[in-house]
């Protein structure tokens, strides 16, 4: 392998730039060429490539988003699109592909690897932390800190007005952000996709805390929480049954994806980029780089896609105890 390509794909996350930088600099370190692909698989199909060297990635470790841009590509879902992608890689004499993204992007990489036997390595970049085979994904820590910051601010206004705030955070299938940011920000209750707290139990708990003297409360709700109701419906139900509180809803939205990456994410991304290039140079393929117990490991890409990254039940217990 003497020429490697790198791309970012799917939803962006803070720290993707640090990962690009690490892949590019690792290539420079091992004296192989590196090519950047713009806009994920779509750019691959359109041969939107740029030659990169150690200097092309200066001043980006601190920047959110991705300098290579990210995209979702319908064309790559079709065999015809993937054939074009393959031909472009061969025409540019590229021997391997590093994909920074989430499980959709890894599925694409896996399909591509199977079809053309083209070496692919994945680096998990998503704020959701929903990828199996790694304790942490790049961007998750930054997103957590952003969410905690915002909830701290909401708490100020909540306590000044005796308000009950429902704060919706990202996580359609995964409660990592809600659970950890909820505990970190001292939320009274946390609703996540993995656990069915039930609206009655939520009401009961909020009534109890009201009786115990709490004048304001924060409830963190993951987008895909198990109640099956959206955050406005949940808030309405509580408001109707707990009129002592003024209820408000705050949707955190895309700000969770942005911002300068935390030091944790920058270090994680730097380590993962090096590991990805070293795996390729070792002749390994169809793997994802993971961080397990603070060691860089290689996980079968198929396993990373198929299996579910389960939340730690112990953390749920902590959240229960804290809301006494
Ligand atoms: P996020 O964490 O934001 O969901 P992701 O990497 O999971 O990121 P997706 O939009 O699911 O994002 O996938 C990114 C791209 O990967 C898709 O737009 C598509 O081009 C490609 N892809 C996903 N699934 C497949 C598949 N089964 N076959 C081929 N390509 C795929």
This model of the complex carries an ipTM of 0.96
Cα of 99 vs centre of ligand 1, distance in Å, is 11
The mean per-residue pLDDT over the stretch 27-49 comes to 98
Q: Is the pLDDT of residue 84 over 90?
A: yes
- Please give the pLDDT value at position 214: 81
Summarised one tens digit per residue, pLDDT across range 120-130 is 999 999 999 99
Q: Which is the closest atom of ligand 1 to the Cα of 11?
A: 3
Cα of 106 vs centre of ligand 1, distance in Å, is 7
In angstroms, rounded to a whole number, what is the distance separating the alpha carbons of residues 151 and 165? 9
Summarised one tens digit per residue, pLDDT across range 129-147 is 999 999 999 999 999 999 9
Q: Who's near 159: CB < 8 A, 6+ residues apart?
A: 215, 216
In angstroms, rounded to a whole number, what is the distance separating the alpha carbons of residues 278 and 284? 9
Residue 212 phi, psi dihedral angles, 5° rounding: -80, 5
Burial of 215: CB neighbours in 10 Å, binned 0-12, 13-18, 19+? middle
The tally of CA atoms less than 13 A away on the side-chain side of residue 166 is: 26
Structure tokens, 270: 């730097």
Residue 65 phi, psi dihedral angles, 5° rounding: 70, -155
Q: Count Cβ atoms below 10 Å from residue 143 Cβ, excluding itself.
A: 33
Contact 244, 158 (CB under 8 A): no
For residue 8, the Cα-to-chain-centroid distance in whole angstroms is 13
211 annotated as belonging to a binding site for a ligand: no
Torsion of CA 130, 309, 176, 213, to 10 degrees: 160
Summarised one tens digit per residue, pLDDT across range 199-225 is 999 999 999 888 888 877 999 999 998
Give the residues surrounding ligand 1 with Cβ less than 6 Å away. 9-11, 41, 72-73, 76-77, 101-105, 107-108, 111, 126, 128
Mutation choice for ligand 1 from 105, 134, 301, CB with most ligand atoms inside 8 A: 105
């Amino acid at each position: 392998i003497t020429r490697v390509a790198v791309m970012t794909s799917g939803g962006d996350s803070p720290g993707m730039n640090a990962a690009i930088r690490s892949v590019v600099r690792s290539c420079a370190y091992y004296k192989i060429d590196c090519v950047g692909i713009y806009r994920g698989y779509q750019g691959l199909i359109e041969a939107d490539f740029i030659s990169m060297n150690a200097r092309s990635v200066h001043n980006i470790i601190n920047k959110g988003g991705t300098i290579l841009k990210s995209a979702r590509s319908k064309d790559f879902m079709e065999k015809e699109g993937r054939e074009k992608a393959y031909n472009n890689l061969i025409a540019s004499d590229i021997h391997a592909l590093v994909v920074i993204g989430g499980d959709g992007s890894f599925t694409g990489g896996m399909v591509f690897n199977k079809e053309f036997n083209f070496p692919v390595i994945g680096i998990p970049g998503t704020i959701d932390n929903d990828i199996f085979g790694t304790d942490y994904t790049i961007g998750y820590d930054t997103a957590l800190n952003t969410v905690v910051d915002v909830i701290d601010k909401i708490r100020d206004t909540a306590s000044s007005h005796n308000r009950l705030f429902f704060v919706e955070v990202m996580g359609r299938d995964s409660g990592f952000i809600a659970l950890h940011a909820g505990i970190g920000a001292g939320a009274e209750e946390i609703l996540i996709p993995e656990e069915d707290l039930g609206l009655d139990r939520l009401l009961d708990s909020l009534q109890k805390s009201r009786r115990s003297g709490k004048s304001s409360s924060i409830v963190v709700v993951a987008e895909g929480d198990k109640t099956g109701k959206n955050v406005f419906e949940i808030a309405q139900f509580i408001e109707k049954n707990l009129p002592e509180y003024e209820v408000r809803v705050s949707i955190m939205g895309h700000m969770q994806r942005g911002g300068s990456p935390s030091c944790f994410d920058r270090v994680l991304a730097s380590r993962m980029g090096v590991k990805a290039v070293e795996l390729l140079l070792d002749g390994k393929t169809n793997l994802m780089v993971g961080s397990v117990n603070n060691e860089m490991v290689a996980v079968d890409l198929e396993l990373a896609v198929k299996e579910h990254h389960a939340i730690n039940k112990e953390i749920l217990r902590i959240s229960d105890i804290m809301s006494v």
